[in-house]
Structure 1
Amino acid sequence: MDVIRSYFEENPDLFAALVALVAVVGGLAGSVIGAKIQANGGRAQATAAREAAQISSEAQRVAALWTVRHVQTAEFIQQARQVVRAADRAYTTDDEGSVREALQVLTQKQAQVELIASRCVIDGAANVVRSVEDFARLALKRGPAAYAEFVLQRIMTSGSCTVEVVEAARLLTELKGVYRNYGVQEISEEGLQGLDRDALNSVLRAQRDASAALGAVPGIRRHHVDAVLEHAGNRELPLDYQELEGLYEASMAALVTTARTMLKSEDGFAAS
C-alpha cells in the first residue's frame, strides 16, 4: 500500500487521470443502474395498468350480464303471468286469440332466457312454460263453452232478458241432464258408444234443441255452441282448473327462487 502511494505521489498526473477515470466509470454505472431501475418501474406500472384495465373490463362485463339477466328473466315472468290472465279471461270473454298471442310471446321470452340465464333458471323457465301451456290449453278447450254459459247468465240477470234466452238456458240445463242420465261426458264416437237407440235419440234431440236455442242468443257464436254440445257433460273443469293452477303457481314460485339466487338478490349487489 505504501509503494502504491509513493508511486502516485511521484506521478501526480497519472493519479489525476485515474481519479477522472473512476469518476466517469462511476457515473456510467450510476446511469445504467438508474435506467434499469426506471425501466423496471415502467414495466411494473404498465403491468399494473393492464391488470386494472382487465379488472375494470371484467367488472363491466359482470354488471352488464347481471342487468341483461335481470331484465330478460323479469320479462319472462311477467309474460307467463300475462298468459295465465288471458287464459282466465277466456272463460268470460270471446277473446281466445289473446291466449294464443300471449303464448307465442312467452316462447320468445323463453328463448331469450335460455341464452343468458344459469342452467337452474333455464330449467325453471321450462317448467313454467309447460304448466302455463297446460293452463292455456284447458282455457282454449273449455273456455268457449264456459263463455256461452256466462253470456246466458249475464243476460238473464240483466233487464233485457227475453223469453228466447230463458228457453235457451232451460234447454242447456236439459241437455246437461240428458248427458248425465246416460253417462255421456265426451261427444265423439267413443263417447256415444254403448248407448241404445232410444238413449242415442234422446241425446241427439237434446243437442238439436239446445243448439238451435243457443245459436239465437246474442253474443253466442257457432263455435261457442259447438263447444257447449261437446263439453256440457264434462263436470271435471273445476278440478282440472284447480290442479293446473296449483302446478303453475308451484313452478312459478320455484323459478322466482332460482332467479333470485342467480341474481344474488339477497346479497344486495349485482353479480353473475
Structure 2
Amino acid sequence: MTAFRQYFEDNPEIFAALVAAIAILGGLLGSVIGAKIQANGGRAQADAAQKAAEIAAEAQRVAALWNVRQLQVAEFIRCVREAVATSQRLYEAEPDDQELRQLVHAAYQAIEFKAAELILIATEEVVNVVEATLLAAEELEQEAMDSGPTAHAEAVFTRLYLSRDMETARAARVAQNVLNAETGETYESRTRALRGVPGLSETLAHELAVNSGGGNRLQWIETGGRKSNVLEEKLAELVRATRTMLRSEDDVAPATPEPRRRWWRAA
C-alpha cells in the first residue's frame, strides 16, 4: 500500500486520470441501473394498464349482455301475451275471418323469432323454459284455431236459443234437437234446421252443422282454459329463471375498485 501511495504521489497526473476513469465508470453504471429501474417501472405500468383495460372490457361485455338478456326476455313475454290475446279473438270472430287468422299467424311467428334470439344469448335453464313456453303458446294457438270458430258459432246459437223472441227461440230449439240427434241426421238436415233460425248467418250455420255436437262448447272452453293455465305456469317459471340468470336478488351496486398501486411504491 505504501508503494502504491508513493507511486501516485510521484505521478499525480496518473492518479488524476484514474480518478476520472473511476468517475466515468460510476456514471455509466448508474445510468445502466437507472435505465433498468425505469424500464421495469414502465413494464409494470404497461401491465397494470393492460389489466385495467381487460377488466373494463369484460365489465362492458357483461353489462351489455345483461341488458340484452333483460330486454329480449321482456320482449318475448310481451309477444307471447300479445299473440294469445290475438288468438282469443277467434272465439268472437266469424269462422271465415281470414284477416284475423293471418294476424294470429304473424303474432306467433314473432314469438318464434324472439325465442330463436333468446336461444343464442340466454343460459341453458332459461332456454329450456323458453322452449317449453313456446310449445305451450303454440298449443293454445292451435286450440283457438280449431275450436274458436265453432265455439263462437255455438255462443251465437245459445243467445238465439235463449232469445225472448218466441219464433227465434222455437226455431233454435228445433235445430238443437237435430244437432243432438245421434243417428239419422245428415249434414243437409242439420244445415236446413240451422238455416231456419233467424239471426244465424250461413257461415255459422255451416260451422255448427259440421262441428257442433251438443255441449262441445263447454268442452272447448275447458280445454282452452287448461292450456291457458299451462302457459301461465310456463311464463311464471320463465320469470323465475330469468331473475336467476340476471341475479336480480343480488346487490347490484358497483363495487369500488382497489386503487392501483404505482410501481415505485410497490414493496
TM-score strictly above 0.5: yes
2:257 maps to which residue?
none
Relative distance call for 1:58 and 1:73 in structure 2 (3 A) is same
Identity %: 39
Give the Å deviation of 1:19.
Answer: 0.8
- State TM-score, norm by structure 2: 0.80
Unaligned regions of 5+ residues in structure 2, if any? 95-99, 255-267
Out of 103, 115, 121, the position equivalent to 2:120 is 115
Alpha-carbon separation, structure 2, partners of 1:27 and 1:69: 62
Q: Is the 8 A contact 1:171 1:206 kept in 2?
A: no
Q: 2:208 aligns with which of 228, 237, 251?
A: 228
Pairs aligned (count): 246
- Cα distance in structure 2, aligned partners of 1:136 and 1:164: 37
SS at match of 2:91: coil
Q: How far, CA to CA, are the matches of 1:236 and 1:39 in structure 2?
A: 83
Contact 2:172/2:194 (<8 A) preserved: no
Q: Following superposition of structure 1 onto structure 2, how do residues 1-272 of structure 1 map, counting pairs within 5 Å?
A: 1-94=1-94, 95-152=100-157, 165-166=168-169, 169-178=172-181, 182=182, 199-200=183-184, 202=185, 204=187, 206-213=189-196, 217=199, 220=201, 222=203, 224-233=204-213, 234=216, 235-269=218-252
Following the alignment from structure 1 to structure 2, what is the Cα–Cα distance between the partners of residues 227 and 177? 15
Q: Deviations over 1:116-165 (max 9, x none)?
A: 1111111111101111111111111111122223445667899xx87775
Q: 1:36 to 1:157 in 2, by over 3 A?
A: farther
Change (3 A) 1:20 1:162: same
Deviation at 1:93, TM superposition (A): 3.1
Please report the RMSD computed on the Cα atoms of aligned residues, expressed in angstroms.
Answer: 2.8
Q: CA deviation at 1:101?
A: 2.0
State the Cα distance separating 1:110 from its structure 2 match: 1.1
Q: C-alpha separation between the residues in 1 aligned to 2:145 and 2:10?
A: 121
| Kept after mapping to 2: 8 A contact 1:73/1:259 | yes
Q: Would the aligned equivalents of 2:160 and 2:172 in 1 still touch at CA under 8 Å? A: no
Q: Distance in 1 between matches of 2:41 and 2:143?
A: 73
| TM-score, scaled relative to structure 1 | 0.79
**C-alpha separation in 1, matches of 2:219 and 2:130:** 28
CA displacement at 1:33 relative to structure 2: 0.9
